[in-house]
């Protein structure tokens, strides 16, 4: 049973030093200590529905080929030929014709990564095809999301994600389908995206359309320490939704009822995803750091397939609402990046409304110094 509390901070809690947002050395350390060792959300299983379907994913600076084999298993292969290291794939998405072939010398791999053919290599003494499968990252699918982990011996997903394993069952997230992805390129550090998402102290000033539908002081949190943080905010109108009109004609998802009909749940899934659960749709932000001051965010909306299949289905009311809200957030996050880069910046005090930001900082620093 979840217990929800209002955010608060300890006396003296302050924002991070500037170097954590600006330093190229810090960014390089983050890649190795965080993004190369964590379970990273890279998309939905529906993006590779059939054997041979693939998408490319960027994780910790590595290009991965995410594909499904003939047995239905999802793999994440490094986009690197075992012969001379050539990139195997340059298209962002597509479908393999049963195998993956290097464009340089035609070494050919099965969808599961096994080396099937290596031209003329049978003439090389001691060469054994079984010694040269594609390198692959650990992969799992949960709630329909594909997660990968580059660590040689990653923490088991069920252990790492224990607080979230059954938390979203009533939304039936695994059965939902994604629509209308929007890609945003931001001139700010990835941590500012997480931190902005985790408080509504700014909402009355930056998001008048959001504050009109959901009181900025209504937030209550049940996950307040560790890699996963968040809780809910209330809707002003019972059984409404966060849309351009504040209402919806869509039925509630899954088993959503009771209090969930007038709540929006927001969770940060460290270090790669922001997850928002509404009565009638779910929204996911995939966050990919590109540099200390550059971040790519892909936002997508998930709906019940039965709703999508209706002839006049139109998700614009939700998409337009959050596209507007996102752009407001990205602009202020970029302004924060510029201010933090000033010699005048020093860490400032957190308000009680920013309790999750202080918790994010604690987990982030613990992970970086572990």
On the question of pLDDT at 255 being above 80, the answer is yes
Looking at residue 147, its pLDDT comes to 98
Please choose, from the candidates 154, 160, 178, the residue with its C-alpha nearest in 3D space to the C-alpha of residue 275. 178
Rounded to an integer, the average pLDDT of 202-208 is 95
Percent of the chain with pLDDT over 70: 100
46: which 2 tokens? 């529906």
Tens digit of pLDDT for each residue in 52-80? 999 999 999 999 999 999 999 999 999 99
Q: Label residue 311 by pLDDT band (50, 70, 90).
A: confident
CATH number of 40-158: 2.102.10.10
Q: Report whether pLDDT(1) > 90.
A: no
Task: Copy the structure tokens of residue 305.
Answer: 């397939």
The tokens for 121 are 């290599």
Mean pLDDT over each residue of the chain, to the nearest integer: 96
- For the chain, the structural domain boundaries read 40-158, 168-369
Is omega for the bond preceding 354 within 30 degrees of 0, making it cis?
A: no
Q: Is 304 helix (H, G, I), strand (E, B) or coil?
A: coil
The fold adopted by the segment(s) 168-369 is Naphthalene 1,2-dioxygenase Alpha Subunit; Chain A, domain 1 (3.90.380)
Q: How confident is the model over 76-86, as a mean pLDDT? A: 98
Q: Is the pLDDT of residue 247 over 90?
A: yes
Q: Is it the case that residue 47 has pLDDT exceeding 70?
A: yes
Give me 271's structure tokens.
């270090």
Mean pLDDT of 233-251: 93
Structure tokens belonging to residue 133? 């499968």
CB 355 within 8 A of CB 8: yes
CA 248 to CA 262: how far, in whole Å? Answer: 12
Q: What is the pLDDT of residue 370?
A: 83
The pTM is what?
0.96
DSSP H or E segment with residue 21: helix 19-22
- pLDDT tens string 101-125: 999 999 999 999 999 999 999 999 9
Query: Residue 2: is its pLDDT beyond 80?
Result: no
Q: What is the pLDDT of residues 150-198, one digit of tens each?
A: 999 999 999 999 999 999 999 999 999 999 999 999 999 999 999 999 9
């Amino acid at each position: 049973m979840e217990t929800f509390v209002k955010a608060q901070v300890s006396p003296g809690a302050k924002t991070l030093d500037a170097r954590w947002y600006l330093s190229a050395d810090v960014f390089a350390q983050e890649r190795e200590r965080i993004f190369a060792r964590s379970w990273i959300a890279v998309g939905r299983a529906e993006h590779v529905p059939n054997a041979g379907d693939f998408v490319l994913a960027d994780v910790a600076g590595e290009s991965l080929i995410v594909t499904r084999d003939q047995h239905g298993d999802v793999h994440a292969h490094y986009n690197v030929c075992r012969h001379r290291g050539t990139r195997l794939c340059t298209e962002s998405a597509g479908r393999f014709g049963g195998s993956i072939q290097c464009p340089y010398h035609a070494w050919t791999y099965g969808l599961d990564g096994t080396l099937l053919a290596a031209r003329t290599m049978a003439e090389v003494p001691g060469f054994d095809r079984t010694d040269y499968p594609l390198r692959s990252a650990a992969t799992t699918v949960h709630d329909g999301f594909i997660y990968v982990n580059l660590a040689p011996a990653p923490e088991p997903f069920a252990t790492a994600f224990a607080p979230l394993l059954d938390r979203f069952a009533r939304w039936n997230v695994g059965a939902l389908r994604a629509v209308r992805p929007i890609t945003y390129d931001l001139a700010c550090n990835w941590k500012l995206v997480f931190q902005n998402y985790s408080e509504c102290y700014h909402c009355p000033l930056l998001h008048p359309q959001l504050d009109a539908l959901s009181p900025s002081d209504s937030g209550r949190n049940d996950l307040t320490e560790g890699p996963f943080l968040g809780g809910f905010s209330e809707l002003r109108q019972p059984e409404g939704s966060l849309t351009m009109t504040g209402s919806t004609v869509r039925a509630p998802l899954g088993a959503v009822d009771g209090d969930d009909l007038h709540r929006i749940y927001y969770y940060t899934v460290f270090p790669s995803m922001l997850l928002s659960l509404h009565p009638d749709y779910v929204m996911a932000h995939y966050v990919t750091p590109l540099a200390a001051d550059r971040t790519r965010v892909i936002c997508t909306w998930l709906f019940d397939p039965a709703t999508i299949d209706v002839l006049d289905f139109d998700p614009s009311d939700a998409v337009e609402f959050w596209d507007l809200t996102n752009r407001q957030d990205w602009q202020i996050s970029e302004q924060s990046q510029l201010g933090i880069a000033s010699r005048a910046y020093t860490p400032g005090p957190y308000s009680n409304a920013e309790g999750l930001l202080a918790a994010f900082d604690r987990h982030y620093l613990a992970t970086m110094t572990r």
